[in-house]
Amino acid sequence: MSQSKNNIQDVDWSIRYPENWAEISWKCRESTNFRCCLCRSEATQTHHALYTYRDGKVIADFRGIGSYLFPLCDDCHEIAHHPFNYRKDSKNPVLGNKNSPRFYKLLREGWLDKKRKVQKMTQKD
């Protein structure tokens, strides 16, 4: 029996992550001194709040850091994907999913706050 094209297991998720994803993720987490942008825990993951820029290109580069890519701890990453905070696109599950505007605002404001603190720390040195 052939599998349906709509089978989620048949989806190619790798388009979200370029070959240098480890470096992008590391730089993203480094941008907040490896602190989660929603709490004070260690940032262990990089979260996509959105997967494509307005021009349709995949957000998988350094310019997405702090705008669409955010450093999170494991617990906050799970919260970021909770249905209350995350919108799944059944027509485009690979690139169409995104955080709600309300949750995106929390991510962005949290990142800006952590980034300012990192900048203050480095200016003191």
Binned at pLDDT 50, 70 and 90, residue 3 comes out as very low
**Contact between 75 and 104 (Cβ < 8 Å):** no
Residues ≥6 apart with Cβ < 8 Å to 108: 49, 66, 67, 70
Binned at pLDDT 50, 70 and 90, residue 112 comes out as very high
pLDDT above 50 for 52: yes
**Contact between 48 and 68 (Cβ < 8 Å):** yes
Read off the pLDDT of residues 37-49 as tens digits, 9 standing for 90 and up.
Answer: 999 899 999 999 9
Read off the pLDDT of residues 81-109 as tens digits, 9 standing for 90 and up.
Answer: 999 999 999 999 889 999 999 999 999 99
pLDDT above 90 for 58: no
Average pLDDT for residues 51-75, to the nearest whole number? 91
